[in-house]
Amino acid sequence: FLGTHQDNVADRVSKGRSATGERNGSVTRPERRPRGEGHARAKLSTNDVAEIRRVASEGLAGNTALAARYGVSDTLIRLIVQRKIWKHVA
């Protein structure tokens, strides 16, 4: 049916045609979503992330110092330490 983009999205949702939950592409095809070092724009390695978490947990350096050492933002360091990103690294 003809309609605006918003009309079409609302129609898709009302008919249950949205790929959410277990039907989401990141769930059904995880190999298509590169994680960690496999991502083309990754600046850190798995070893770097493990080292960042170790140093932060031991209180040897703060987020700002770690960010400067690895050439990333202190926000990224915080998200790594909080395990909000790079979750697959132990």
Determine the Cα–Cα distance for residues 46 and 77; give it in Å rounded to an integer.
Answer: 13
Look up residue 82 and give its amino acid.
Answer: Q
pLDDT, one tens digit per residue, over 62-85 is 999 999 999 999 999 999 999 999
Mean pLDDT for the stretch of residues 11-35? 87
Phi and psi dihedrals of 2, rounded to 5? -75, 145
> Is 80 exceeded by the pLDDT of residue 1?
no
pLDDT-derived band at 6, boundaries 50, 70, 90: very high
> Is 90 exceeded by the pLDDT of residue 23?
no
pTM of the model: 0.69
For residue 69, the SS3 value is: helix
